[in-house]
Amino acid sequence: SKDQDTIHTDVVLLLVVVTVNALSPKINNSIRAASDHRGVRI
């Protein structure tokens, strides 16, 4: 049904947001580490 599709989409979006939020610190740390390695400060 249409309602189930909407709920499914909301769950997928929620999972994506949670995953991105969980990975963001790691990505930021990786960028910072790479920048520090080159002697560039962010």
CA distance linking residue 16 with residue 24, whole number of Å: 12
What pLDDT was estimated at residue 40? 61
In this prediction, what percent of the chain has a pLDDT beyond 70?
86
What pLDDT was estimated at residue 19? 93
Q: What is the mean pLDDT of the chain?
A: 84
The band of 5, judged by pLDDT with boundaries at 50, 70 and 90, is: confident
The band of 1, judged by pLDDT with boundaries at 50, 70 and 90, is: low
Task: State the pTM of this model.
Answer: 0.51
